[in-house]
Amino acid sequence: MKAIEVENLTKIYKSRSRRNDIMALSNLSLSVQKGQIFGLLGPNGAGKTTFIKILLGITHPTLGTGSMLGETIKNYKNKSRVGYLPENHKYPHYLNAEQILKYFARLGGYKSNDLTGRIDHLLKIVNMEKWKKVKIKKYSKGMMQRLGLALSMVNEPEIIFLDEPTDGVDPIGRKEIRDILLNLKSEGKTIFVNSHLLSEVELISDKVAILNKGKLIREGSVEELTTTKQVYQIEIEETPKNTELFNNTNYSLIESNGNKYTFKFDSSESLNTLIDEIRAKKLNLLSVIPKKHSLEEMFINLINDNEKQNL
Amino acid sequence: MRIIYKLLVKDIVRFVNDKTALLLTFLVPAILIIIFGNIFSGNGGFPGVHVIFVNNSKSELAKTLETKLDSSEAIILVKNITDMESGKIINITVGRAVEEIKKGKISAAIIFPDDFFSDTSKSVKIKFFYDPKDQIESSIVQGSVQQAIMSSMPDVLPVLMQRKIESSIGYKKVKKFKEEMSGVVSEYFNVPVDSIYKKEDSLKLFSTAGANTNNFFSKLINIENSQVVGAEVKNPGVTRIVGGWAMMFLLFSLTGAATSLFEEKQEGSLKRLLCMPISRGNILWSKYIYSVLIGIIQLFVLFLFAYFLFDVEIFSNFFNLIIVILASAAAAVSFGMLITALSSSIAQANGIATLLIMIMSAIGGAWFPVSILPDWMQTISKLTITYWSVEAFLQVLWRGGDLTSISFNLIILVSVAVIVNTYAIFLFRKGKIF
């Protein structure tokens, strides 16, 4: 079942002269399955925040439609099923964590009688139980982020939107947040993460979409996106005496490092041809590993390619 | 020196690019100078204060004086009125004049009674009914009446003075004195007694009057002043102005409350609210109600101060005062909401609000009575919520007016609140806040 689905979503920020209109999103169509951790990536100004704002009803699309949990995004009452951790969020400094959580729980329509128990539970999850009665003005940035995470969960939402969730959090805190998100996933929650920290996204996301200049340029699982098609690393026990076997019209050597050779193949048959050649030469084949990029490498390459195409 | 020059350029560029600073530095003072200049320079076409005039006297002197008053630039005589029931234009009676003043429709009435001046009168009798709700206005009217009377005096003064002396020392003694004096003058200048009789009469008597002019004139011109409204008000000065100033500060504070939406946006708390299961309408209406409540509390505290410090009576007509406070606060907040909806930043909103509040206060009657403004400004003043609010406060605090007497003001203020706020909420959907 789809938790989020948008079709042909377009957002134009209009200015006085049409020439200066900004196309923040252009015909964006994508979907997020229930129970997934979905990562939305893109450079600054790609349209990520606009996309979240549209889904949450903070701004309206110029064109296109969207739905969350089977309800149109125009239905504001549906937001009781959604949690949100905004980027650089601020709360009234004269309140403490408990007061903030209580206020937003009630505003969000949380109906359980045991709100205090729920708040204690959430503060424990984000490791903030000792700060329950301390005024927010004394919180560090990392603590604010933890409180924001607790707030996004206070109504027991089915979808949680997280905008830069690990921003300002130390490495141990990041690990804790990752664990919280994975735990939420195991409870069947859908998590939508918007982050610049690609390594974080790579570690937890089931599916990733990449936006550039308001357009969706790539979508898929982390595995699919990081695996480079037709590029394999082949490890041979001994260095071949001549490298003639590496010269073939169906494949080419990209990189060599000791006994490890990276090839790019035209097709999977070409890979088999090379393996046959190696065996024919009586060389001992140790491993054949499909070559993977990190999400960050893939992202940078993809954005650069996209920029070149747009030139 | 070069560094100072660079820093100076930086400040100038910053100032030029700050539209709000430009607005407050140049436009606000310029507009206020235009308003004040038009009022006090006399070039703006001061229309004169409207005053009811009833002439029940058949004497020639009354007609002369009426002509003098008619030609006065400071006052405009209202001699007839359209009857609301019959739709006909009718002459105003004394009773009707008093009634109109009590209702606050006009601030003064000059009455020439039947016994204004007769063949045997020793003084001129004038009745002056007035409502000193505006000190400036009252002074203008009284000054104009006195000026008109005094300029007519050369025609009537000798007669009045002669009658006064005759009543004091007796006709025979006066006659004897005049005959003897005429004889002496006749002999000395060698002219007939009959030709100097009148001249001697007036000259002699005028010189006598010079000893104590004010006291003497007051006995000759009997102006019966009657304050129709506000006589029982303990502190007229503060009671007159408290509504106007309260309204000005209310507009400032409530516009600030409405523009706080921009601050909430900058803080991110607005974004947080928008992603909750609540509508934009919920957010805006809650902001509206909050601002109205703040306005009510602010006005109430201000009036309490006036009560304790200056004896301004607020509890004798408390219910109606609260109604006016409520309507004024509702209208003032709608103004703030509209400014916020039309602006793209808090700086812009504050700049526009300051400009408009100053203008509304100046021409709406918060600083001085609307009646002293030029005609065109008086017309514009009725487009301001300050005007309707200040008038309602005066009606309640000064006249002790009931709900009926302020009903029209309330209808205007509540209509402004509803229409402007609904429009503002419509604009918010398209504006920069959300």
Q: What is the largest CA-CA distance in chain A?
A: 78
Q: Residue B29's pLDDT is what? A: 85
**Domain at A2-213: CATH code:** 3.40.50.300
Does the model's ipTM exceed the 0.85 cut?
no
Low-confidence ranges of chain A (pLDDT < 50): none
Report the 10 Å Cβ neighbour count for B120. 7
Q: Which residues of B touch A56 (CB under 8 A)?
A: 274-275
Give the mean model confidence (pLDDT) for residues B230-248.
84
Kindly report which listed range (A199-203, B37-41, B219-223) carries the lowest average pLDDT score: B219-223
With CA atoms as reference, the chain B residue closest to A154 would be B276
Query: Concatenated DSSP letters for A101-118?
Result: HHHHHHHTT---S-HHHH
Amino acid at A84: Y
Query: Is B278 in Cβ contact with A57 (below 8 Å)?
Result: no
Q: Chain B neighbours among A 120-179 (CB < 8 Å)?
A: 161
Q: Residue B416's pLDDT is what? A: 94
Would you list the domain boundaries of chain A?
2-213, 228-295
Burial degree of B110 (CB within 10 A; 0-12, 13-18, 19+) = buried
Residue B50 Cα to chain centre, angstroms: 11
The answer, as to whether pTM is greater than 0.90, is no
Which of B269, B272, B274 is the closest to A57 by Cβ?
A: B274
Q: Residue B431's pLDDT is what? A: 62
Residues forming a β-bridge with B130 = B108, B227
The 10s digit of each residue's pLDDT in A155-210 is: 899 999 998 888 878 888 888 889 999 999 999 999 999 887 888 888 899 999 99
Query: Is A56 in Cβ contact with B274 (below 8 Å)?
Result: yes
Instruction: Let me know: does A208 contact A221? Beta carbons within 8 Å.
Output: yes
Query: Is B272 in Cβ contact with A104 (below 8 Å)?
Result: yes
Q: Residue A282's pLDDT is what? A: 82
First CA to last CA across chain B, in angstroms? Answer: 47
Assigned token pair, A113: 């009688």
CB < 8 Å & 24+ apart, contacts of B307-312: B310/B235, B310/B238, B310/B242, B311/B234, B311/B235, B311/B238, B312/B234, B312/B235, B312/B238, B312/B239, B312/B242, B312/B397
| 3-class SS of residue A257 | strand
Give the mean model confidence (pLDDT) for residues B130-149.
76
Q: Which residues of B touch A108 (CB under 8 A)?
A: 276-277
Burial degree of A115 (CB within 10 A; 0-12, 13-18, 19+) = middle
Domains, chain B? 49-168+213-227 (3.40.1710.10), 236-430 (no CATH)
With CA atoms as reference, the chain A residue closest to B279 would be A76
Give the mean model confidence (pLDDT) for residues B252-266.
85
**Domain at A228-295: CATH code:** 3.30.70
Q: Tell me if chain B has a CB within 8 Å of the CB of A86.
A: yes
Which of A79, A91, A161 is the closest to B269 by Cβ?
A: A91
- Under an 8 Å CB criterion, which residues of B touch A? 267-269, 271-279, 434
Q: Tell me if chain B has a CB within 8 Å of the CB of A275.
A: no
Relative to beta strand A37-41, strand A190-194 is parallel
Instruction: Let me know: does B126 contact B110? Beta carbons within 8 Å.
Output: yes
User: Is pLDDT larger for residue B392 or for residue B32?
Assistant: B392
At residue B181, does pLDDT exceed 80?
no
Q: Residue B198's pLDDT is what? A: 55
The 10s digit of each residue's pLDDT in A221-242 is: 888 888 777 888 888 887 776 6
